[in-house]
Amino acid sequence: MNNEVLTKLSYGVYVVTTNCETKPVGCVVNCVMQITYDTICISVNHQNYTNLCIDKSKKFAVSILGEHVNDNIIPTFGFSSCREVDKFENIKTVNIDGLEVLEDSVGYIICELTDKFETETHTVFIGKMIDADMLNKDVPMTYDYYHKVKKGKSPKAAPTYIEEKLETDKVAYRCKICGYIYEGDITKEPDTYVCPICKKDKTFFERV
């Protein structure tokens, strides 16, 4: 089965935020859908800490990312865990209805959790919209744009993750966090080199 076809579905790129007690948490998702005029659903992997926190807080926000979103936002919210880092430390947000919304987003939707159902790998959360507004006039980023133009990668927990294959005679290194392939000898790069996708340093690369 060729999972690449999944990137051709009409996805967007979003940051979903919620609270874990008094601490804000969040992650990147690509599955957000309007069900009725005031109800949306989102899909969050079981491995994401945000999943657990939405279930506990019964509330979540969706920030819609644009094509010109700050380059640090997707690596921060997509390739690290709130269990280990404060994702909000260097990201500008505005607090709306008790949830952090990204300032650098096309707009936001605030929802109260009304229902959920489980799949093998993801939870589908259903929420009733209690607030929504536009924040800037950027063009909403599609998942296809993220891959083709931004040259972005999908984390291993994403349903559209595709492991890159290499010819056996090539020397290359793969980022263990996001899967980015560096063709050549990364050991010759300066210690300041970071992965262009998830911003991890070269110690996170393994030879393939």
Least Cα distance to 54 among 119, 152, 122 occurs for 122
Q: Residue 183 pLDDT > 70, yes or no?
A: yes
User: CATH number, domain at 24?
Assistant: 2.30.110.10
Instruction: Write the pLDDT tens digit of every residue in 85-132.
Output: 899 998 999 999 999 999 999 999 999 999 999 999 999 999 999 999
Could you count the other beta carbons within 10 Å of the beta carbon of residue 162? 15
**In terms of residue numbers, what domain contains 196?**
172-207
Residues 105 and 182 in one domain: no
Name which residue leads in pLDDT, 14 or 153: 14
Residues 35 and 84 in one domain: yes
Residues 89 and 122 in one domain: yes
Residues 184 and 91 in one domain: no
In a domain, 162, yes or no: no
Q: What was the pLDDT predicted at 160?
A: 52
The total number of structural domains that make up the chain: 2
Residues 56 and 132 in one domain: yes
Q: Residue 42 pLDDT > 90, yes or no?
A: yes
Q: Residue 163 pLDDT > 70, yes or no?
A: no
The pTM of the full predicted model, rounded to 2 decimals, is 0.80
